[in-house]
Every structure is written in C-alpha cells, then in structure tokens.
Amino acid sequence: MCTQTKAASLMANIPEAEIDPTGVFKYVLIRVHSKEEGDDSSVDIVRGYAWAEYHADIYDKVAEELEKGGHLDCECIGGGRIKHDCQSKKIHVYGYSMGFGKANHAVSTEKLKVRYPKYEITWADEGY
C-alpha cells in the first residue's frame, strides 16, 4: 500500500507560480521541503509581489503561511525581479536579491510558463 505523507499532499496543492498581475516587482524562488521522517520530497515555487520593499518581505510572509501546520519547511534559494506586462502577454525575469543572491531564472521561467502558457516568457542574468 502506498500512502502519501501529509507534507507531500500539502505540497501537491501549492501553486508553483504566483505573481502580481502587472508591473515590475521583486520575486523569490523558494524551496519547500517536507519535515516528515522518511519524506525527502520538495517543490520549488515562485512568488513575486509589488507590495514588497525587500525580497525578504515576500519570503517571510510565504514561509510563515506554508510552515504553519508544522509539516513543511521553506528556504529561499534566490531572488530577482519580474516585469509582467499583461497587455502584451510578456514576462521578463532578471536581476538578483542582495540578501538571497540570484535565483535560477531558468527554473523560475519554467514555473511561470506552466502558469502563463500563452505568454512570451524570457529571462536574463543582467540587470538589477
């Protein structure tokens, strides 16, 4: 019999990409891990919001929410910026976080392509 852990079940329901509908804003790439014994599963998620003054503001809010039940643990694996133009259906991922370093923009871009399949999504290592 195959049983899924509570953590794996929770992770399966976390949206992999959640960003503001338009504008230029900071984003973080977060790795969500299971805290359950014998379960080494994890998922990477993208979160980007214009309200955040710092990358850590996004990470702190998201981590607090996800870690509430005690089944999940979060770590920020980098950050950057996103330019989201909903009118022309374009997203550009670039830059880095002073506190967390540069996220793997290729991974972030793949997560965004799943969430926004009709968009042109690009990334670059240049820029802040």
Tens digits of residue pLDDT in 10-50: 999 999 999 999 999 999 999 999 999 888 999 999 999 99
Tell me whether residue 26 is annotated as binding: yes
84 annotated active-site = no
What are the structure tokens assigned to 67, written together? Answer: 């870690």
**Whole-model pTM over 0.75:** yes
Residue of 55, 71, 84, 105 marked catalytic: 55
Identify whether the C-beta of residue 84 lies closer than 8 Å to the C-beta of residue 20.
Answer: yes
Tens digits of residue pLDDT in 54-96: 999 999 999 999 999 999 999 999 999 999 999 999 999 999 9
CB neighbours of residue 84 within 10 Å: 23
| Residue ranges of domains in the chain, CATH in brackets | 6-124 (3.50.20.20)
pLDDT for residue 83:
98
Distances (CA, A) of 117 to 85, 105, 114: 14, 17, 6
